Structure 1
Amino acid sequence: MIRYSARNNLSLRSFNWELIVLLWLVFFFNQADRQIFNVILPQIKAALKLTDAELGMIASVFIWAIGLCVPLSGYIGDVFSKKKVIIFSLLLWSTATFFTGLSAGLVHLIVLRAVVGSSESFYAPAANALIAEKYQEKTGLAMAIHQTALYAGIIISGLSGALIAERFGWSTAFYFFGGIGIILSIVLFVRFKKIIAPDTVQTTYKVTLFDGIMGLFRKKTAILLTLAFACMVFVNVGYLTWSPTFLHEKFNLSLANAGFSSMFYHHIFAFLGVLLGGRFSDQLVKKTAGSRLKLQALGLLLACPFIYLMGSANQLFWVYAGMGLFGFFRGIYDSNIYASLFLVIPPTIRASVSGAMIMFAFLIGAFAPWILGIVKPTLGLSDGLSALSIVYLAGSIFIFIALKFTLSKELYIAAQTDKI
């Protein structure tokens, strides 16, 4: 049972709720605009006469677009106004999502999904750096609350996107989510002026385009965290792309039911896991700096058997149990992705380094839907999804290596640098 002191209650009352709510809404549509494509894959496949490999390739191109653009996005997030970068990103990806509904073939989908992916890449580095800046004593909690938007966006788009597609056609789902995102960008333009102070110009250090990659490779802990993040992204992208089709084909669920069920059980438990992970990590890190990494490593490790169960079970109850517990431990990991990274990264280049981290993780993770699409006709989605547990195991090993060999030394160096 969690006990809150009067001091804790006071700090929560002084918490900037409007900013985190607005960022939550942006991140919600960031994820919803990604997931509606995955949910309505069967309709798009039938309407445009595409193959499984082509659908997997479209999903992979989307992730590659994020990975290739995000280093530039991180640099821009450090150099320019973070709030303007966030608004621009939201407006551009929402517009591209809207026009995705007009696609008439493979080339159109590839181009528009690449535009959505590249414009979405500007959001995460700027938003995470802004959260770390504005919520210094509650970083874990603020990032955990922000992360819940990922799960809510995927769950709600999984249901509503499928229902809209079944009743009004797959194009309408893109019109709906893209249109709301455009309206939200206008709301942000008005409100950010009032709740975020003007950005101060950095004069002590000039950020360059290559600081993100160089800053990442200077820290062995950051490299290991990036490898673990790549493992998570690989599994996540493969799961998000193919789990609705897995339920639709293996258990003959309707498109709406498969889209909802594949997203709901996993992400509702991830919602709980990320809040618990964020809340406890803020307390534990006061005693041991490595607590954030320990929670992440355990989250990946404990999720492994449930990923295997999800793909191998032949009864829906056990499939959903696997999805749910996989989601819970994934949420434990997710709660400290950037908070752990920022332990060894100075504030001046946090957006740039997180951008580099996202780039490498997404370039690797982008292969998952394509690979699963290629092996689907022979190996099958059941075995393909179960095999993803091995990737999560590798991710946990990378973090344990960081805890054992690199973190303490780099935390000491960072502390000595701060004193100078």
Structure 2
Amino acid sequence: MKITKMATGRYSWLLVGLLWIVAFLNYLDRILITSMRDPIVVEFKLSDAQFGLLTSVFLWSYGLLSPVGGFFADRYSRKKVILFSVLVWSAVTVWTGFVGSFHEMIAARLFMGVSEACYIPAALALITDYHKGRTRSLATGLHMSGLYAGLALGGIGGYVATLWGWRCGFQLFGAFGLLYSFVLLYFLKDHQVTPANSAGSKSNKAEKDISPFKAVKILFAERSFYVLMFYFGILGMVNWLVYGWLPTFLKLHFNLSLGEAGISATGYVQVGSFIGVLLGGLIADRWFRTNKRSRLYIVIIGFTLGCPFLFLMSTTPAFSMAVIAMIIYGISRGINDANLMPILSQTIDARYLATGYGCLNFLSTIIGGVMVYLGGRLKDANVDLSIVYQVSAIAMLLACWSLMAVKFKNIE
């Protein structure tokens, strides 16, 4: 039995490593488009609102399908849902490198949203299955650092577009994802609690007990779930305004080149976020030994300190100060990302963990998609993006304080 536990412990960290690469590709493939804005706009003769719509369509389809992807991961197999997601979104990424019109680009972004919607709820739930209590925040945070790496290197799209054309990046990274899916097919394993589970008893019980109607009834019976919905909605608004329009803001506000703006917008925030997931995961897991609300408190503290720096970034005339502000805000976001799924796991019925996260993802990304499109409309109307970021900082601060109302039902 000791050998089995040791093997499971080793695999729980191997799992994080395997999914780190998937998380990297997940955000790299979706964010490439923002750092390649100029050549895409020129080729297809787009307005800022139309370019914003490319990200909005992705987010709307991603959000709408997130609860469905989460439900399939809860009811059937997390491994199969992850594999399906990686295969389809990688194929769509390759397709994006060959599109011939704006309407075809819209279609590709829609299908990318549908396919990527299945990944995050299933992956975070699988990590939560393998990591209990004292390692959960750190494991989640390390996985989320893959997203940051993808966002950071997504900024290299501006350089790729300059050297080889904007289509090359989509074709290259999409092909890599297709190849990596075969690695996952061999190494990825669903969590098995007991030997009896491997014989199929868990699967049969899950298929009998879990239904869409029961999921909705149980999730929305929790008052704390509504608080988390409000928080995720504001988080999605702020995150996607940063993801979608920060390269453009930096380019205009500080007179940077396309490549400099792209790598700065993704790089500095992600450096801070990487520091944040490590600090947030380690501190929350250690604090958890004496305070079961540690993960909630560390998120509130993180954004209370970080949101003023998002405000500062949008107002300072000095690029060096903006860099510092982006890094510190990134730290607060990393602390948040390391602890969101662990907080949810303490709040709702464990049988519907992936479904619950999918519902929150739905709300977050739908609102995020609206805001990315609205950001383009505001820019077309000559509204300075700095005002958008100032409002975002204040809204995020208020949203994090609302988390004090969350009540826990699980202590694990």
| Fold shared, TM-score > 0.5 on shorter chain | yes
The root-mean-square deviation of aligned C-alpha atoms, in Å, is 2.1
> Against the structure 1 CA distance between its residues 268 and 370, is the aligned structure 2 distance closer, same or farther, given a 3 Å change threshold?
same
Which residue of structure 2 lines up, in the alignment, with residue 280 of structure 1?
Answer: 283
Which residue of structure 2 lines up, in the alignment, with residue 330 of structure 1?
Answer: 333
Aligned mates of 1:315, 1:211 — CA distance in 2: 53
> Against the structure 1 CA distance between its residues 196 and 132, is the aligned structure 2 distance closer, same or farther, given a 3 Å change threshold?
closer
- DSSP-derived class of the 2:347 partner: coil
- State the shift of 1:329 in Å: 1.0
Q: Which residue of the other structure, out of 133, 137, 150, is the alignment partner of 1:153? A: 150
Which residue of structure 1 lines up, in the alignment, with residue 182 of structure 2?
Answer: 186
Which residue of structure 2 lines up, in the alignment, with residue 232 of structure 1?
Answer: 235
Aligned mates of 1:221, 1:157 — CA distance in 2: 35
The letter for the 1-side match of 2:155 is G
Give the TM-score normalised by structure 2.
Answer: 0.91
Which residue of structure 2 lines up, in the alignment, with residue 175 of structure 1?
Answer: 171
The letter for the 1-side match of 2:65 is C
Larger mean CA deviation between 184-193 and 12-21 belongs to 12-21
Q: Which residue of the other structure, out of 10, 18, 36, is the alignment partner of 2:14? A: 18
Aligned mates of 1:275, 1:375 — CA distance in 2: 36
Superimposed CA distance per residue, residues 239-286 of structure 1 (whole angstroms, 9 cap, x where no aligned partner): 111111112222222221111111111110110111111111112122
What is the correspondence of 1:5-404 to structure 2 with a 5 Å cutoff? 14=10, 16-137=12-133, 138-159=135-156, 161-192=157-188, 200-203=202-205, 206-377=209-380, 378-402=382-406
Which residue of structure 2 lines up, in the alignment, with residue 7 of structure 1?
Answer: none
- State the shift of 1:347 in Å: 2.1
The letter for the 1-side match of 2:72 is I
Superimposed CA distance per residue, residues 321-346 of structure 1 (whole angstroms, 9 cap, x where no aligned partner): 11111111111111111100110222
Aligned mates of 1:141, 1:64 — CA distance in 2: 30
Aligned mates of 1:202, 1:306 — CA distance in 2: 50
- State the shift of 1:117 in Å: 0.8
Aligned mates of 1:24, 1:103 — CA distance in 2: 29
Aligned mates of 1:203, 1:103 — CA distance in 2: 45
Contact kept, 8 Å, 1:59 with 1:366, in 2: the verdict is yes
> Against the structure 1 CA distance between its residues 11 and 80, is the aligned structure 2 distance closer, same or farther, given a 3 Å change threshold?
closer
- State the shift of 1:228 in Å: 1.0
Superimposed CA distance per residue, residues 181-206 of structure 1 (whole angstroms, 9 cap, x where no aligned partner): 1111111112226x966574141752
- DSSP-derived class of the 2:188 partner: helix
What is the aligned-residue identity percentage?
A: 32
Superimposed CA distance per residue, residues 42-72 of structure 1 (whole angstroms, 9 cap, x where no aligned partner): 2211111100001112211111111111111
- DSSP-derived class of the 1:387 partner: helix
Contact kept, 8 Å, 1:228 with 1:394, in 2: the verdict is no
Aligned length: 397
- DSSP-derived class of the 1:288 partner: coil
5+ residue gaps, structure 2, are 1-5, 193-197
Aligned mates of 2:124, 2:57 — CA distance in 1: 24
Superimposed CA distance per residue, residues 144-188 of structure 1 (whole angstroms, 9 cap, x where no aligned partner): 1101111111111212x2221111111111101111111111111
Give the TM-score normalised by structure 1.
Answer: 0.90
Aligned mates of 1:323, 1:107 — CA distance in 2: 34
Contact kept, 8 Å, 1:376 with 1:384, in 2: the verdict is no
Aligned mates of 1:354, 1:283 — CA distance in 2: 24
Contact kept, 8 Å, 2:303 with 2:400, in 1: the verdict is yes
Aligned mates of 2:264, 2:144 — CA distance in 1: 20
Aligned mates of 1:349, 1:247 — CA distance in 2: 41
Aligned mates of 2:214, 2:163 — CA distance in 1: 49
